[in-house]
Structure 1
Amino acid sequence: MRITLVGSRHFGVTTLNMLREHHVTLVRVVVHDGEDRLAAAARAAGIEVVVQADPKLVTAAEIAPGTDLIVTAHSHARVSKEALAVAKLGGIGYHPSLLPRHRGIAAVEWTIKEGDPIAGGSIYHLADRMDAGASARSHKSRAVSPFLTNTQSCAAMAPLGLRLLGEVIDYGKVNGALPAKPQDEQFATKAPNLSPGKH
């Protein structure tokens, strides 16, 4: 399977490493910042790096030719319909909530703020609306501790995201397709940024 990875920061790097362990071909890494640690890790591994022309949008031209699947990892850019169309299986991302609950940039913060009794993570198909594509895999992880900070909670959720991404990718390698279950809109909630100006 040929994958274009779109992402940034620590989770982008750990996703890159996980993908290499799953014996896929990483054909390109797309970043919004050429100095990001994911860009450095990709270059060190001999993987082509492309910097987005628009940090908020990934275009079809930025996806490697012959890509089977786009994977996003800590990317806040929308992957355009045209970009998704050039990948045989479209694109998937990890969201640190049980979608459709807490769609948005601050899912972990809202999980804590709302006092959710259970946390979890979801692999979803990239779509026009943020975090609203069909679910490929979700998993209830643990009870939420009100004593954990947002940073600690994000760090605790990252291994779950890597495992779920790996499971979905392995499924796709075997079956030539990805699972897809529509999200139930009646349970959708929003998780807007609680700290404007920060990601």
Structure 2
Amino acid sequence: MKITLAGSRHFGVETLNMMRGHGIEVIRVVVADGEDRLAAAARAAGIEVVVQAKPKLIVASEIAPGTDLIVTAHSHALVGADALKAARLGGIGYHPSLLPRHRGIAAVEWTIREGDAIAGGTVYHLSDRLDAGAIAAQDWVFVKKNETARELWERALAPLGLRLLAQVIDQAKTSGVLPSMPQDEQFATNAPRLDKEVPHAAPKSAAS
């Protein structure tokens, strides 16, 4: 299984380390910023690094030849249709919510803002719609009382993402296909960027 990894920051590095630990061959890393810590980790491991021509778009020429699967990890770029076609199995990403709930860049913050008692993570097929591709794997966690978005991410959702990505990649490696279940659009909500992080879950009113 040959992977092109697109991503950034700490979660990108952790995803790279997870895949290498599972014996998965990462043949190229694609980043928006050549100085990002993921780029540095890839270079240190002897993996080719490509910097996107456009920070918000990944195109076919940036996907390594022979790629079986594109994996995104903390990437805020759209993987174009031509790029997805360049990989044998297309692409997957991790989103820290129970999709289709909380689609968008601030999913964890909206989990806290809405006072959700349960959060979760989803590995989904990359598509031309934001966070709307078919579900490949999903699991849930409890949200602790007064937990912040950062605390929830670090305690539960980031580790969950690594586990689910490993699970799906291992399945694809064994079977040659990706699990796929359409999202139920009637439950879709949006999670746009907030001005500032919500400090902790708002208490539910008696009427809620």
Alignment of 1:62-141 (within 5 A): 62-141=62-141
- For residues 135 and 97 of structure 2, the distance between their equivalents in structure 1, rounded to whole angstroms, comes to 12
| Residue 10 of structure 2 is aligned to residue 14 of structure 1 | no
Q: For each residue in 1:54-96, what CA deviation from the matched residue of structure 2 results, as whole angstroms up to 9, or x when unmatched?
A: 0000000000000000000000000000000010000000000
Q: CA deviation at 1:51?
A: 0.3
Indicate the SS of the match to 2:99: coil
Q: CA deviation at 1:138?
A: 0.3
Contact 1:112 1:146 in 2 (8 A): no
Counterpart in the other structure of 2:165 = 165
- The CA RMSD over aligned residues, in Å, is 0.9
Counterpart in the other structure of 2:178 = 178
- Pairs aligned (count): 195
Letter in structure 1 aligned against 2:154 = A
Q: For each residue in 1:152-197, what CA deviation from the matched residue of structure 2 results, as whole angstroms up to 9, or x when unmatched?
A: 122121000000000000000110000000000000000000038x
Q: Please, which runs of 5 or more residues in structure 2 have no aligned partner? A: 197-208
Q: CA deviation at 1:140?
A: 1.2
Letter in structure 2 aligned against 1:4 = T
Counterpart in the other structure of 1:26 = 26
Q: Please, which runs of 5 or more residues in structure 1 have no aligned partner? A: none
Q: Which structure would you say has the larger Rg?
A: 2
Contact 1:69 1:87 in 2 (8 A): yes
- For residues 171 and 155 of structure 1, the distance between their equivalents in structure 2, rounded to whole angstroms, comes to 26
Counterpart in the other structure of 1:187 = 187
- For residues 174 and 121 of structure 2, the distance between their equivalents in structure 1, rounded to whole angstroms, comes to 23
Deviation beyond 2 Å, 4+ runs, structure 1: none
Indicate the SS of the match to 2:104: coil
- For residues 53 and 71 of structure 2, the distance between their equivalents in structure 1, rounded to whole angstroms, comes to 19
- For residues 145 and 106 of structure 1, the distance between their equivalents in structure 2, rounded to whole angstroms, comes to 18
Q: CA deviation at 1:146?
A: 4.4
Letter in structure 2 aligned against 1:42 = A
Contact 1:13 1:37 in 2 (8 A): yes
Share of identical aligned residues, percent?
A: 69
Indicate the SS of the match to 1:108: helix
